Amino acid sequence: MATYIFRFFIFWYICGVVLVTFNLLPPWLEWANSVFLITAGIVAGIYFTELYGKWQGVLYSLMIIVVSIYIEHLGVAYNFLFGSYDYTQNFGLKIADTPITIGFAWLLIIGCSHEIARVISHGLPRLLHLLVFVFIGSLCAVTIDLILDPVSFKVKEYWIWEGPGVYYDIPFSNFMGWFLVAALFHLIFILWHPVRKENTEVWSKRMALVFGLIIFMFICIAFNGELYFSIILVSCLTVIWYGLYFWRNSYVSESS
């Protein structure tokens, strides 16, 4: 079943890249955005269950969804952490003015950043491992947002920033907020400290792939909005993360 869900995600992803990039998505198909976010989040949830066991993976995933929705609610209602913004598009059912699908989006982001940080930090001395895992994981999440937010704001207008900002009119507090929220989830994982199962290479590779796929999709859309600086910046950062990931992955394979 898990493999079929991943295949459905890939199919929906390809359709989304074509339809959204070339503005071919008709109004009656706007619900497809919600399906994509939920499916992507479920893929990340499966990744956690495959690596750390069914119940631990499910509980960690649910925690990310619930906590992220609450934090986003505080952001919308009280300008907490991220800055002043409002959602303009219908992302499905809302709780306290916050779409539930945003929780699945955060689950996706934490799943992607977890995999990159997990491999890069693997095998390092204990304290250094913990610091690198949280720091790299948080930076990977911010890397996604450096392309996601400009596209969602400037090109698609999924949400609107109400104040001035330093990066495509997006406040610096937003990126700091992303870093802190991602750091929180990665720190919770460290305190939770589940034992990784054996033979998890398939889903590790899939999650590493999803990290690049999500960034690629937003880069494609960014061309429509001529967001060239964000494209160059995020492309360079992504090359760095993948370079470190595959270098460390080969090192771990050779030493095991």
Radius of gyration of the chain (CA): 18
Tokens of 16: 């989304």
Instruction: Report domain extents, the chain.
Output: 2-248
Q: What's residue 89's pLDDT?
A: 62
CA 146, CA 168: separation in Å to the nearest integer?
10
pLDDT in tens, 130-177: 999 999 999 999 999 999 999 988 888 888 888 778 899 999 999 999
Query: Is the pTM value of this prediction over 0.75?
Result: yes
Of the candidates 187, 166, 210, the residue with the CA atom closest to the CA atom of residue 6:
210
Give, as one character, the DSSP assignment of residue 96.
T
C-alpha closest to that of 141 among 100, 170, 173, 176: 176
Per-residue CA distances from 220 to 8, 41, 168 (Å):
21, 21, 17
Start-to-end CA span in the chain (Å): 30
